[in-house]
Amino acid sequence: MAELRYNPLTKDWVMIASHRQNRPQMPKDWCPFCPGSGKVPDDYIVYEYDNDFPALSPNPPEPDDVATDIYKVMPSYGKCEVILYSPNHTITLPELGVDHIKKLVDLWEERYIAIQKDENVKYIFIFENRGDVVGVTMPHPHGQIYGYPFIPKKIELELDSAKEHLEKTGNCLFCDMLKDEIKFEKRIIIENEDFITYLPFFCEYPYGVYIISKTHKQNLTQFSDKEKENLAKILKETTGMLDSLFDYKFPYMMCMYQNPVNVEEDVSEYYHFHIAFYPPMRSKEKQKFNASSETGAWAHCNPTAPEEKAIELREAHQRFLEKMAKGE
């Protein structure tokens, strides 16, 4: 079964994809993403691979006949792609060179351009799940891209808030938030010419950093080559910083937010490119669970102070820079 079902309580769509239950746990001595598997080229650097178990597809089956006046269904139309970061089975994002990560950014942009050509796709979501604790079944370094036929609720809420702020102030909400963070200084972690990594005032996770572009742009296609190189640099340093917190490969969910596509309203005045990290750990060995309040009420509780965690993150960033300088 693969279809979309509408939740009238939250006015959002749920992807029903029971076939994904059949996703295998890969044997330890074989990986479909490694050269020689027959599934991927033998000499790739970064590579797009169509998901073998997609929740959304360009040729979805007809939904089950279960709709009513209240309960709506529609085909699970869309796109699900896997983005392979490297042919190396064990290397991860912070261990890649900046030139290599720049090629990854270029591939993200290439796929964004290709997917948005489908007028039925309304939102393109680039993301990475890293670590067993967030449910990763394939250890080979990779991210994913979903092309949704709707705008997901979280993005819809961000768009509404940003539009309301523009109407009240004439300013971009994200630009104003960034100005506040720069003025306050204490939650800023990493900065280069074009991007800033910071721990937001409102962060829901102890180490839930954001990366945001300093200039008001909405998607990858608007960045120059220099900006994309600086995005590669800050991605390497941000993920390396997280790994340096406790000296192990830190699990996270990395989510890239860009403007919707193929919609009537132009959001360019009030939406702004950013990347959010949702790391599930609150200390070296303790996990921050999304429990009843977070899941049932969307009322988040961060058990730490962002200003204190920002100090930890800056120290971890310094350790990562020292490690890079030694060539480790």
**Predicted confidence (pLDDT) per residue in 190-230, tens digit:** 999 999 999 999 999 999 999 999 999 999 999 999 999 99
Q: State the pLDDT confidence band at 19, using cuts at 50, 70 and 90.
A: low
**What pLDDT score does 138 carry?**
86
User: Could you read off the pLDDT of 222-262 as tens digits, one per residue?
Assistant: 999 999 999 999 999 999 999 999 999 999 999 999 999 99
Q: Which two tokens stand for residue 23?
A: 């996703």
- Say yes or no to pLDDT of 134 above 60: yes
Would you place residue 326 in the very low, low, confident or very high pLDDT band (cuts 50, 70, 90)? confident
Mean pLDDT of 113-132: 97
Lowest-confidence range among 50-54, 182-186, 207-211?
Answer: 50-54
Whether 309 contacts 186, CB under 8 Å: no
Please confirm, yes or no, whether 317 is among the known catalytic residues: no
Q: What does the pLDDT average to over 35-39?
A: 93
End-to-end, the C-alpha distance of the chain in Å comes to 48
CA dihedral (85, 118, 260, 122) positive or negative = negative
Structure confidence by residue, pLDDT tens digits, 148-166: 999 999 999 999 999 999 9
Domain boundaries, the chain: 2-325
Confidence of residue 135 (pLDDT cuts 50, 70, 90): confident
Q: For 58-87, what is the mean pLDDT?
A: 95
Give the Å distances, CA to CA, from 239 to 66, 92, 197, 251: 44, 9, 11, 10
CATH class held by domain 2-325: alpha beta
Please determine, for residue 20, whether its predicted confidence score (pLDDT) is greater than 60.
no
d(Cα 27, Cα 49) in Å, to the nearest integer? 20
54-64 average pLDDT score: 93
Average pLDDT, the chain: 95
For the residues of 152-199, what is the DSSP string, one character each? Answer: -HHHHHHHHHHHHHHHHHSS-HHHHHHHHHHHH-TTEEEE-SSEEEE-
pLDDT digits (tens, 9 = 90+) for 261-301: 999 999 999 999 999 999 999 999 999 989 999 999 999 99
Which residue out of 19, 100, 142, 165 is catalytically annotated?
142
Residues 292 and 109: their CA atoms lie apart, in Å, by: 37
